[in-house]
Structure 1
């Protein structure tokens, strides 16, 4: 199986600053993508394409909502022909939004669609290639013969698009790699990239370059790696095609927005991305504001960071093409909660009440712990503004130490070691972390605070900058080691984005305390939230935390922006789940619906969720049709896929085990399958 040496691959100018990648500009019906153009927002209709009036109405609604490019499925030649009437009616309504035909299996549909739309999307794994999940050995001669066959099959649509001035998206999906690619590269990001490059080389052989590229997966970590590899491989081959970003089959609700922000936001922070689509199993109109928010955030960040020269830090020790959790020292908070080492990241949530409001904090803690099922509040963070606040901590500890695993005392700069030494710490003290901001001038104080914590059985969390850690503070900490030490950095460093700030902290720690656990703090100070809206804070927290977790960085995560403990706790666990760093509930891989869908995805997804969302660690894929169904099963334990009108095919991983199950019986049969494979537990009362 082919592999790639990634040690010398480069995919962005800097992992510490957001410097936009330079790409070629392509024209899609008057909308330009790439170069210095704004990030373009896309969506896709969910109506049946041959229902012309319904498709026109939904396209008009998307355009009114701010969608700049609309994709419509063309599963057969008849649907492709209907695109002509759809286009005429839209133009008659004075709507000039460019249309994209979504093509999978049929070259004939692509040839017809190109007559009517401004762009054609081709999925390499489904277009004139074999996908029967067959295990074959391809000699080099066999492989070359397949490529020649592919050249003959793909060239007609390339020449048609060139003749008519149409753009093309070569859109590879993790779930639809062909057998040829699977056998040579495995079910891998590299296979996705090489699949697209094969098609690009064919297009270039005809001097056709109006192409953008996508590398979508339902797992944000796979998606991030694939896009980075795509850029690195294009750099090697002298290509600079613009990128269409998206996490496919993201699902619905908060989970889908978190996963999309992790995948898309991480790459935008890397400077990658020219057009985006947020895929939701909801009415597509709800995709547009989420995508617009992500695009606006990225463009504001790129503009801000363009004022700074690239920092001296140009590389770090993280391999951006392969996930490995950073090695850290294990710390035990309590019998049920550990961090670092092999432990999953711990969850900290900050109360917005002043610590003197003990009764209100107790009420919030009890409500959160009794309301949430698996996403329990582990560590409670409270502010200590003055020495007298420590007395209130004693009362709070007495009230809730039996239901909270650990406490974090965020010390203001008015608290010093003497105040801590004078305080009568509670008997039977639960695990307690002392958090304090430390500048380079406080190097000796940092060492004394760490020493005090070690003597008292506490844990010391230093909130500092990479520069301070690398210089004065390093000299004090290095002889002491990382026992009882956590590092974090909530204050942004000039010239770096918040993500780069943490990457720089990790790199600085390598010189003095290389195994110190890292705490990812989501505060209003280390994010770029423009508005005081939960949706805005959700995106910011997901981007910062998700990107770091996908890098393998992060042993604790805190949400410090939410007025409700319950909301902050849920968001923290959803981010960990989205980044595949800690699984606390069922994972749903659900496609966003389109004209190919054979059942109502929104209602069916909710029905399946209502019966199975207590199955911690189980992944269920819900697919409206066969296009990506079998392939996406590779990332799922069980699959529920539309096979025909009113009929469902049920999968175990990639294998279809039950065909054409009546839709009325399919959910019960799915649950029976889960039971047969020993992954069912009864829901809590």
Structure 2
């Protein structure tokens, strides 16, 4: 029977400890010859995009996936005829000596599922449309009517359970945010609670029939929703003592850097907490391009077979996996985790003024970047945009290359003259280490001080903190306190964790408060995504315990080496995981000398992380599905055309969906929609409302722009 929709899950734990790593314990579920969960490594998988009835194309695509390290291949089976062709696909792969497990992807059609179970190693069903016809009807259910709907689920699901048990197949109960049933929508809305309940209804039936080869997923295009849903699923499974593995993915993540960042935030945030046993990075690109990204994600948390690393071109020096990096941390928890992990609530903070920029409060998180003399000369030599607040013109579909605030660690004559000429239009945050640095910065016109706290023999030089704080009070300047990782780490006296940087930061904040500083911003400079996430969580919890509402500045930890995707993944996880929980009022991406990203690219990465985390919009956002055999037009080229023409529309969200499976549901989170309706035809939407049907694909992009103009959301690119 349905649970009380007003039930409070906020106190239900999704992890034993929010401040250290422990992989969630699960049973092993076999998918063909591959074990998922238990002590197995995190598995990587993808999905073919060819027509399933085109055996040769599907087989060729599966082979390309295997050749880059894919361990499990999913194939769409919209009809029983498609499902039957899995027999031929399996035979062709076997003939080539390729025994990769196959998964049948089922929507709407229990008959196709029954046929697919004969040939596939696993059957994925969508609980939102397996037994329920989607009519988008609003109605109230009596207890008897709701019970009857659950009986209908059992009636349609039980035969599949029996067949899968007989043939040794596994089942993934894969909820999609965009395709919840009418019954769930009416009872819970399109919420994480609804997503989880939708899956648990099917799980109850499976357990009734003593079927336990189950894997679960909770996919959404919005990383915040996806993170919340997986956490709640893990909590409710653990509450019942159910140890089923989890398949992670952000659906409709898009392409390029945006798709990788969004996937890293969603998938990586959960892997950092020990949730997840197999992953798929869904990109609107050729499927084989998903696997190297997935492997670089997975190798941070479990040991990946060398042959897979080689196939995925990920044999460069791999990071120490997280379970082995922090084995010394204690399990006890002295500061409660004060987040509501299942609902987004931004942390409350006071406003701090830095020049013309307001940071904290209800303001969007601000981007901060380093301005050196070399960087200034590069800008001037290239006749590039000067780093002035408010100068971020939209001339392309890319994220801005100009931050909100610049950090200066050396005030050259050119920087001083520029500051004099521009005043508040050039907000400058002076990096200082002691009182004499602050005096120099003050004379140069700095708008605020950023005091770096390096512990010496386990303590911070509080005398210097006091002197700089006094200077800040006397000149009405905000004070950023940034505690930086040190080689002289001592065990913390504030918590049972090895977090000396946090202790030093709080000591400096106490001292600054005593002196009378009111505008304080607190930040940490740490050496890994895990330490960054745990320590910032602890900082937010401690500030709440103290009743302090100071803004928090996030600094991405960077890497010592790696390819571009490693840097995107690392910084997206470290800061995006916090932003998705409402922690962070400013962000800085600072990478070492070996970084493959230029200074401008690092600034763009910060803006793109904010966008993907749903914290700030600086360009149009696209919800673009990765394509499959159901897709009714060329998603990659269509997405590229739409992005090229509309990417400059800041704050506009456009869904580009290949078919109806998730299309209508994901449109709820979009302003405008472009969805395949029939071969060669497209339906156009405003929100979830269809405004034009059957538009020829060659005309559809221009018609979409016309609709955007009609609704007052269009601006001409500059």
Question: Common fold, TM-score beyond 0.5?
Answer: yes
2:571 match: 541
Partner of residue 293 from structure 1, selected from 296, 317, 326: 296
2:496 match: none
1:175 counterpart = 2:178: yes
1:375 match: 400
Contact kept? 2:556, 2:575, Cα under 8 Å = yes
Partner of residue 31 from structure 2, selected from 22, 28, 39: 28
Q: Separation in 2 of the partners of 1:459 and 1:364?
A: 33
Q: Separation in 2 of the partners of 1:508 and 1:393?
A: 41
Bigger drift between 316-325 and 176-185 goes to 316-325
Bigger drift between 457-466 and 550-559 goes to 457-466
1:420 match: 438
Q: Separation in 2 of the partners of 1:485 and 1:502?
A: 16
**1:323-402 counterparts in 2 under 5 A?**
323-335=344-356, 337-351=357-371, 355=373, 359-360=377-378, 362-363=380-381, 366-367=384-385, 373=394, 375-379=400-404, 381-382=406-407, 384=409, 389-392=410-413, 394-395=415-416, 397-398=418-419, 401=422
Deviation at 1:404, TM superposition (A): 5.9
1:304 match: 325
Deviation at 1:55, TM superposition (A): 0.6
Contact kept? 1:344, 1:582, Cα under 8 Å = yes
Q: Separation in 2 of the partners of 1:477 and 1:371?
A: 34
Contact kept? 2:360, 2:585, Cα under 8 Å = yes
1:52 match: 55
Contact kept? 2:429, 2:446, Cα under 8 Å = no
Contact kept? 1:378, 1:404, Cα under 8 Å = no
Contact kept? 1:261, 1:542, Cα under 8 Å = yes
1:12 match: 15
Deviation at 1:454, TM superposition (A): 2.7
Q: CA RMSD in A?
A: 2.4
Q: Secondary structure at the match of 1:557?
A: strand
1:624 match: 658
2:489 match: none
Q: Separation in 1 of the partners of 2:535 and 2:100?
A: 39
Contact kept? 1:249, 1:592, Cα under 8 Å = yes
1:506 match: 540
2:680 match: 646
Question: Where do 5+ consecutive residues of structure 1 fail to align?
Answer: none
Q: Separation in 1 of the partners of 2:382 and 2:238?
A: 52
**1:270-281 counterparts in 2 under 5 A?**
270-281=273-284
Q: Secondary structure at the match of 2:656?
A: strand
Deviation at 1:291, TM superposition (A): 0.5
Deviation at 1:167, TM superposition (A): 0.7
- Structure 1 residues 399 and 281 mapped into 2: Cα distance closer, same or farther (>3 Å)? farther
**1:141-160 counterparts in 2 under 5 A?**
141-160=144-163
Contact kept? 1:378, 1:406, Cα under 8 Å = no
**1:483-632 counterparts in 2 under 5 A?**
483-492=518-527, 497-512=531-546, 514-524=548-558, 529=559, 531-561=561-591, 564-632=598-666
Deviation at 1:420, TM superposition (A): 3.0
Q: Separation in 2 of the partners of 1:227 and 1:396?
A: 52
Q: Secondary structure at the match of 1:138?
A: coil
**1:404-483 counterparts in 2 under 5 A?**
405-411=426-432, 415-421=433-439, 425-426=443-444, 429=445, 431-439=447-455, 440-464=459-483, 465=500, 467-469=502-504, 472-473=507-508, 475-480=510-515, 483=518
Bigger drift between 470-479 and 125-134 goes to 470-479
Partner of residue 668 from structure 1, selected from 675, 682, 702: 702
Contact kept? 2:42, 2:278, Cα under 8 Å = yes
Q: Separation in 2 of the partners of 1:594 and 1:530?
A: 37
Partner of residue 96 from structure 1, selected from 82, 94, 99: 99
- Structure 1 residues 120 and 356 mapped into 2: Cα distance closer, same or farther (>3 Å)? closer
- Structure 1 residues 422 and 280 mapped into 2: Cα distance closer, same or farther (>3 Å)? closer
Deviation at 1:246, TM superposition (A): 0.3
Q: Secondary structure at the match of 1:142?
A: helix
- Structure 1 residues 541 and 393 mapped into 2: Cα distance closer, same or farther (>3 Å)? farther
Deviation at 1:448, TM superposition (A): 2.8
Contact kept? 2:10, 2:341, Cα under 8 Å = no
Contact kept? 1:245, 1:273, Cα under 8 Å = yes
Q: Separation in 1 of the partners of 2:521 and 2:364?
A: 15
Listed one character per residue, the Cα deviations across residues 493-519 of structure 1 (whole Å, up to 9, x for unaligned) are 9x9622101111222333557111111
Q: Separation in 2 of the partners of 1:407 and 1:532?
A: 31
Contact kept? 2:45, 2:72, Cα under 8 Å = yes
Partner of residue 655 from structure 1, selected from 689, 698, 704: 689
Q: Separation in 2 of the partners of 1:424 and 1:232?
A: 51
Contact kept? 2:419, 2:426, Cα under 8 Å = no
- Structure 1 residues 76 and 510 mapped into 2: Cα distance closer, same or farther (>3 Å)? same
Contact kept? 2:404, 2:427, Cα under 8 Å = yes
Deviation at 1:392, TM superposition (A): 4.6
Q: Separation in 2 of the partners of 1:127 and 1:247?
A: 21
Partner of residue 77 from structure 1, selected from 80, 89, 113: 80
Q: Separation in 1 of the partners of 2:553 and 2:201?
A: 42
Q: Separation in 1 of the partners of 2:230 and 2:518?
A: 38
Q: Separation in 1 of the partners of 2:198 and 2:616?
A: 31
2:313 match: none
Deviation at 1:6, TM superposition (A): 1.8
**1:249-268 counterparts in 2 under 5 A?**
249-268=252-271
Contact kept? 1:434, 1:458, Cα under 8 Å = no
- Structure 1 residues 349 and 404 mapped into 2: Cα distance closer, same or farther (>3 Å)? farther
1:108 counterpart = 2:111: yes
